[in-house]
Amino acid sequence: MEAFLAALVSVAFHGAAYGMILYVISVGLSVTMGLMGFVNLAHGVFAMAGGYVLTTGMNRYGVPYPLALAAAFALVAAGSVVLERLLYSRLYAAGELSQVLFTIGLMFIAVAIARLLFGTVQQPVFLPEYLKGQFGLAGRDFPVFRVFLIVFSALMVATLWFGVERTRWGAMVRAAVDNGPMAQAIGIDTRRLFTFTFALGSGLAGLGGALGAEILTVQPTYPFEHLVYFLIVVSVGGLGSLRGPFFAALLIGVTDTACKYWVPQFGAFFIYVATVVVLLWRPAGLFGLKR
Amino acid sequence: MIRQASYGAAARIGWLEWLPWVVALGAFFLLPEYLPFGARILVYILFALSLDLILGYAGIVTLGHTAFFGLGAYVAGILAAKVGVTDPLVQMVAAAAAAAVLGVVTGAVILRTKGLTLLMLTLAITSILLEVANKATSLTGGFDGLAGVTVAPILGHFRFDLFGKTAYLYCLVALFAGWWIVRRIIYSPFGASLVGIRENVVRMHAIGSPAYRRMVAAYAISATIAGCAGALLTQISQFVGINVFSFESAGELLVMLVLGGVGRIYGAFVGPLVYMIAQDQLAKQFPEYWYFGIGLLLVLVVMFARGGLLGLVDRLVAWVKGPHR
């Protein structure tokens, strides 16, 4: 019984850390898809880029960990603005097929570039001393790094939610998600809003990729491997919603960890089945806007 | 001008439409050393053709068409390697039936949704099959793939020879049959209603067309053809790799079709041909640049050449002919 309880706590804890990472990466996808109706399959590219910024900065240039995290956010956000202005913005009005093809093309390009620059090996993450070791709580030990992941992500999520619910920018974003043309008609510069929100979402993905570089290993096939999970988080949670993907991400993080712990012979089978069931039950996701 | 196949256009087979078959037969006699490779190209043409039916005509954007291809490949492979059914036509029929059932069942369920949800469902179903293929190692060989596929002579007479002659002609016959069926569908009222659904599903409802049932029917037919293509691939390569279910294969299939041109039958012929020859020439020498190249190609096609290669040919012909056509 004690062993089972220990396993339960451990699974819940690691699952929560994993779910937090998934959420930080995917929340930008939810907003960009909900806001612009753009099917961006290349979102994983930004997360991968964040991971590479972190590992390269730390391993090659000796940048301290916090600074490397900040750099992952800033560089990825900046890069995404260039992409959005040059390429994405041309396809907002195009059909779904064009957007799917275009973003798959971006994924192929990103995978090739990553392989050229970094080779096919996984990038190791060397954590600073203060994030190693164990953290004792209620007679149990938790890895400090996972605790840091959960707390840090939770703080960021809180900031983000506050920003969207309580600030002027957040109100404009919510208005544009609900009714784009009407938001434009009352004088909101949706174009600039798009660019800014896209950059923020991509930057968060980069940050998530950097934070989770240990959980989701950084290697060139990253965008392909994890794409399904990011998409599941967004579609199960509901497009354009902030809350939905959060619960979806936690649910998936914990379920996935539990499945890998207790029934590894089934792999991710249950996750996919659950996704199909949820989407058939509620096609717009658990918290999606009904349109 | 290359005719874009659609209902209302003359349904007789034009002289230009015989060209692919002349080329294919010519290749059989003139390029004997490339026949195994040619057979693979024919398989992918059939696969792309099946995708064109639902993507190009019915407008169903799917990332999960590899599910049917892979299922067909595995059904044929498991029958041959584990059950001992070596007759290629029996394998083909079984693969087609399995893919058809999966097509009807999943199509009936997922085609009620649209947009991202539909995309996600097709992806999730393929992922489920990938997990099954990966974990059910005793049946599928797991990650290493399924080896030991034996195929008896076709109809008891035509043995699969070392030079791939039988395999090539076998695939050519299968492709011809698939092409004929797809062409018949597209020039039929049923095909016209598919285009109508793609263009404006609300109006199709308004004129009383059972859009949902039509889409499920098209989806199932397309799945069946894709399953046959998968069985063909197993039979000619005598191996099933787990990557038939991977997202990359779905991406590559899309690239092939889009490169040729979506929604015009012959795009599915030109695309895989050009893509696979380019891959054969370039991919081994420059694997990194190859992926970069197809990614760039996709972006360029989306940005500048929506009609693919055949679309470019159309424009060129129109330009040569001048304003009075």
Reported as a single tens digit per residue, the pLDDT across A223-235 is 888 888 888 888 8
Averaged confidence pLDDT in chain B: 86
Give the pLDDT score at A265.
76
Checking if the pLDDT of B325 tops 60, the result is no
Which residue among B115, B254, B295 places its CB closest to the CB of A106? Answer: B295
Give the chain B residue whose CA is nearest to the CA of A233.
B120
Give the pLDDT score at B1.
36
> Quick check: B4 and B263 in contact, CB under 8 A?
yes
Residues B140-158: pLDDT tens digits?
Answer: 877 888 887 777 777 777 7
Mean pLDDT across the stretch B193-217?
88
Mean pLDDT across the stretch A170-188?
85
Chain-chain contact of A100 with B254 (C-beta, under 8 angstroms): yes
Give the pLDDT score at A291.
47
CA end-to-end span of chain B, whole Å? Answer: 9
C-alpha span between B294 and B289 (Å, rounded): 9
CATH topology of domain A2-281: ABC transporter involved in vitamin B12 uptake, BtuC (1.10.3470)
Better-predicted residue by pLDDT, A37 or B166: B166
Give the pLDDT score at A164.
83
Checking if the pLDDT of B24 tops 50, the result is yes
C-alpha span between A267 and A218 (Å, rounded): 20
* CA-based nearest distance B92→chain A, Å: 28
C-alpha span between B199 and B201 (Å, rounded): 7
C-alpha span between A222 and A285 (Å, rounded): 25
Residues B55-114: pLDDT tens digits?
Answer: 988 888 888 899 999 999 999 999 988 888 888 889 999 999 999 999 999 999 888 888
Give the pLDDT score at A82.
92
Chain-chain contact of B131 with A268 (C-beta, under 8 angstroms): yes
Q: Taking the domains of chain B in order of start, what are their residue ranges? A: 15-245
Better-predicted residue by pLDDT, B234 or A286: B234
Give the pLDDT score at B225.
95
C-alpha span between A282 and A236 (Å, rounded): 8
Better-predicted residue by pLDDT, B324 or B251: B251
Give the chain B residue whose CA is nearest to the CA of A288.
B117
Place of tokens 């059910």: B136
Averaged confidence pLDDT in chain A: 85
> DSSP secondary structure string, B74-85?
HHHHHIIIII--
Reported confidence tier of residue A290, pLDDT bands at 50, 70, 90: low
Checking if the pLDDT of A93 tops 90, the result is no
Closest CA to A247 of A232, A268, A233, A229: A233
Give just the sign of the alpha carbon dihedral B153, B20, B234, B71: negative
Residues A14-55: pLDDT tens digits?
Answer: 888 889 999 999 988 887 787 777 888 889 999 999 999 999
C-alpha span between B196 and B181 (Å, rounded): 20
Host H or E run for residue A135:
strand A134-137
**Any CB–CB contact under 8 A between A74 and chain B?**
no
Least confident segment among A121-135, A239-253, A267-281, B193-207: A121-135
Better-predicted residue by pLDDT, B233 or B286: B233
Residues A60-90: pLDDT tens digits?
Answer: 888 888 898 899 999 999 999 999 888 888 8
Which residue among B120, B125, B254 places its CB closest to the CB of A104? Answer: B254
Place of tokens 């209603």: B193
Q: Which of residues 272-291 of A touch B (CB under 8 A)?
A: 272-273, 275-276, 279-280, 283-285
Checking if the pLDDT of B2 tops 70, the result is no
> Quick check: A35 and A177 in contact, CB under 8 A?
yes
> What per-residue string of b and e applies to A246-273 under the rule 16 or more CB within 10 Å gives b?
bbbbbbbbbbbbbbbeeeeeebbbbbbb
Give the chain A residue whose CA is nearest to the CA of B292.
A109
Give just the sign of the alpha carbon dihedral A212, A217, A220, A221: negative
Checking if the pLDDT of B3 tops 50, the result is no
Q: Taking the domains of chain A in order of start, what are their residue ranges? A: 2-281
Checking if the pLDDT of B34 tops 80, the result is yes
C-alpha span between B25 and B279 (Å, rounded): 22
Reported confidence tier of residue A284, pLDDT bands at 50, 70, 90: confident
Give the pLDDT score at B73.
93
Give the chain A residue whose CA is nearest to the CA of B115.
A96
Reported confidence tier of residue A243, pLDDT bands at 50, 70, 90: confident
CB pairs under 8 A between A and B: 130
Mean pLDDT across the stretch B170-180?
92
> DSSP secondary structure string, A228-256?
HHHHHHHHHH-TT-SHHHHHHHHHHHHHH
Which residue among B109, B128, B134 places its CB closest to the CB of A273? Answer: B128
Give the pLDDT score at B28.
84
Checking if the pLDDT of B4 tops 60, the result is no
**Ramachandran angles phi, psi of A96, nearest 5°:** -60, -40
Percentage above 90 pLDDT, chain A: 13
Give the pLDDT score at B223.
95
Checking if the pLDDT of A171 tops 90, the result is no
Mean pLDDT across the stretch B163-182?
89
